[in-house]
Structure 1
Amino acid sequence: MDTKDTRDRGIRRGTVTAAPVAVGRRGRRTDADPGAERRAGGTDGAGALRIAELEREIQELQRANETLKQYVSKALDLGTVPTRRRDDPAQPPGGPGGSPMPGPAPGPVPGPAVEFRVLGPVEAAVGGRWVDLGAPKQRAALVLLVSQAGQPVSVDALVETLWEGRPPQSAITSLHAYIANLRRVLEPHRAPRTPATVLCTRGRGYLLNSRAVEVDAHRFWKSATAGWQALDRGDPQRALHAFQAGLDLWRGEAYAEAATTPHVLPEAVRLEELRLSVIESRCATLIAVGNHEMAVPELVAFTQAHPLREYGCELLSLALYRAGRQADALSVLRVHQKRMVEDLGISPSPALRHLETEILRQAPELDGSQRVPGGGSAGED
């Protein structure tokens, strides 16, 4: 069987069944041992010329092999990353200056919608059906891409995350395979050799097209923003609905299986801080509309889990006071004050000291409105 035909069929199947042999200008095979030629030629002029010729042919072989790798990668739809020359300094994933990679913005995405849930264990649905995201490292690659949705993630960052700074020689090949697998999962109806529209190649990295996917973390942010805007408009009931809708999206720790990895940690921390702020905002709104009895148990659990958050302590004290529990309200403030002084060596904020004074004198203002995050206030119904 002809070797070329065999190799071509192997490439179409995704494997290489025969290694190419580069041929020099004189038709000689270049898989000979250069050392043997040197030994045969000695140190005379003919031997030196032969050595130079062999070196040129070896360079041709290297170029031929690089061309083959590019071709195989294209045939397998692996999105080969250009090989960096030694004299080519590394560029950040966003190009010089960190700006987004050039290229056309992804257009409308045909086929099924893709949904990611990251406010807990990471899950994905395509066309309304949950899909298997594959092996742990493949899942980890997707988690990083989702956490940076809309922004390119460099191959270096992916490799560092997947192999924790100790990548094997096969790391790039494995990463390309993971990306190819994820593309098949996320776009099952994409025609062969057509550009990916969900998980796209961008320069020396990959980008999850934020216009092609829906992420529950983004919906949570929209709900939180809608709640704060409703408070600014003086609509506490709509704010409560928006806050609760956002909190209902949470199923556990954000990006649970990868929350501590260096490239995902900042986003996980940001989302957790946002969640705590929304809980405080919801409880403040409950107090403002007169539902302090409902707010008390939620704030008790909240302050036990997060004892150093002063605003949570302030809200719990106010809710207890409005529920007719003045002694408990003062106790909350004094326990918090003692913890701050003994554990951290700092005094409580002026807001807490002012609230303690107002509770002691049973100020009528405490039965009225209470400030809520966002600069607004809401009166009781």
Structure 2
Amino acid sequence: MGDSRTRFAILGPLQVCHDGVNLDLGPFKQRVLLAAMLCQPNTVIPVESLIGFIWDGRPPPTARKKMQVYISALRKLVGDRVQHAAYGYSLQVAVDELEVLSFGALATKARDAVRLGESDGARTLFGEASGLWRDQPIVDLRANSFIATPWMQLDR
């Protein structure tokens, strides 16, 4: 997997679709890891930060080992999009593969259309952008306070 037929969604419950089929994202902590990486796409996140996200600030002594299991499972799910760097991991996605990035791109185009006086085009673009929202961001993982906090502002 890990090609342009894969779509990632965080504007609502966490979702990954491949060829139109929703994938099983695994256990809660693995989904938290995926969500944390999708909240900061294409950015290396330090291992210690990921561990903090996964265990909500209270990691067990085996956290690094268990995180490796989750990383391995994510690689099976999305392929080489999961990248390792000297101090952390990133998840590589294109703008059209992650709906929050698509939302940002559409909103920017809509604002540009407003500035150019193209109200019909702006309305269409704003409609497309707002149509990407399915619910509160990663609503299914809100029990994890590390995940909930960065998205509180986005909800507004």
TM value normalised by structure 1: 0.38
In 2, the alpha carbon distance for the partners of 1:111 and 1:159 equals: 27
* DSSP-derived class of the 1:173 partner: helix
Cα 1:212/1:202, change in 2 over 3 Å: farther
Paired AA for residue 151 in structure 1: T
CA offset at residue 255 of structure 1? 1.8
Say which structure, 1 or 2, has more relative contact order (CA 8 Å, 6+ apart): 2
- For the 8 Å contact 1:113–1:213, the answer to whether it is kept is no
1:276-329 CA-to-partner distances (Å, cap 9, x unmatched) read xxxxxxxxxxxxxxxxxxxxxxxxxxxxxxxxxxxxxxxxxxxxxxxxxxxxxx
Q: Which residue number corresponds to residue 176 of structure 1?
A: 68
Q: Which residue number corresponds to residue 246 of structure 1?
A: 129
In 2, the alpha carbon distance for the partners of 1:179 and 1:213 equals: 23
In 1, the alpha carbon distance for the partners of 2:72 and 2:100 equals: 25
Unaligned runs of 5+ in 2: none
CA offset at residue 235 of structure 1? 1.1
Paired AA for residue 250 in structure 1: W
In 1, the alpha carbon distance for the partners of 2:133 and 2:76 equals: 28
- For the 8 Å contact 1:112–1:127, the answer to whether it is kept is no
* DSSP-derived class of the 1:254 partner: coil
- For the 8 Å contact 2:102–2:129, the answer to whether it is kept is yes
Query: What is the Cα-based RMSD across aligned positions, in Å?
Result: 2.2
* DSSP-derived class of the 2:145 partner: coil
Q: Which residue number corresponds to residue 50 of structure 2?
A: 158
Whichever of the two has the greater Rg, that structure is: 1
Give aligned pairs, total: 155
In 1, the alpha carbon distance for the partners of 2:60 and 2:146 equals: 19
CA offset at residue 184 of structure 1? 0.4
Q: Percent identity?
A: 26
In 2, the alpha carbon distance for the partners of 1:271 and 1:120 equals: 12
Q: Which residue number corresponds to residue 138 of structure 2?
A: 255
Cα 1:242/1:141, change in 2 over 3 Å: same
Matches within 5 A, 1:209-224: 209-211=92-94, 214-224=97-107
Q: Which residue number corresponds to residue 116 of structure 2?
A: 233
Q: Which residue number corresponds to residue 148 of structure 1?
A: 40
- For the 8 Å contact 1:114–1:213, the answer to whether it is kept is no
In 1, the alpha carbon distance for the partners of 2:95 and 2:41 equals: 10
CA offset at residue 218 of structure 1? 0.9
Cα 1:112/1:128, change in 2 over 3 Å: farther
Q: Which residue number corresponds to residue 206 of structure 1?
A: 89
CA offset at residue 261 of structure 1? 3.0
1:71-117 CA-to-partner distances (Å, cap 9, x unmatched) read xxxxxxxxxxxxxxxxxxxxxxxxxxxxxxxxxxxxxx975532111
CA offset at residue 183 of structure 1? 0.6
- For the 8 Å contact 1:200–1:209, the answer to whether it is kept is yes
Q: Which residue number corresponds to residue 19 of structure 2?
A: 127
In 1, the alpha carbon distance for the partners of 2:85 and 2:3 equals: 22
Cα 1:111/1:240, change in 2 over 3 Å: closer
Unaligned runs of 5+ in 1: 1-108, 188-195, 274-381
CA offset at residue 227 of structure 1? 1.3
In 2, the alpha carbon distance for the partners of 1:161 and 1:123 equals: 18
CA offset at residue 272 of structure 1? 2.5
CA offset at residue 214 of structure 1? 1.1
CA offset at residue 254 of structure 1? 1.0
- For the 8 Å contact 1:121–1:256, the answer to whether it is kept is yes
Q: Which residue number corresponds to residue 138 of structure 1?
A: 30
In 2, the alpha carbon distance for the partners of 1:213 and 1:176 equals: 28
TM value normalised by structure 2: 0.88
Displacement over 6 Å in runs of 4+: none
1:110-137 CA-to-partner distances (Å, cap 9, x unmatched) read 7553211111001001233211000000
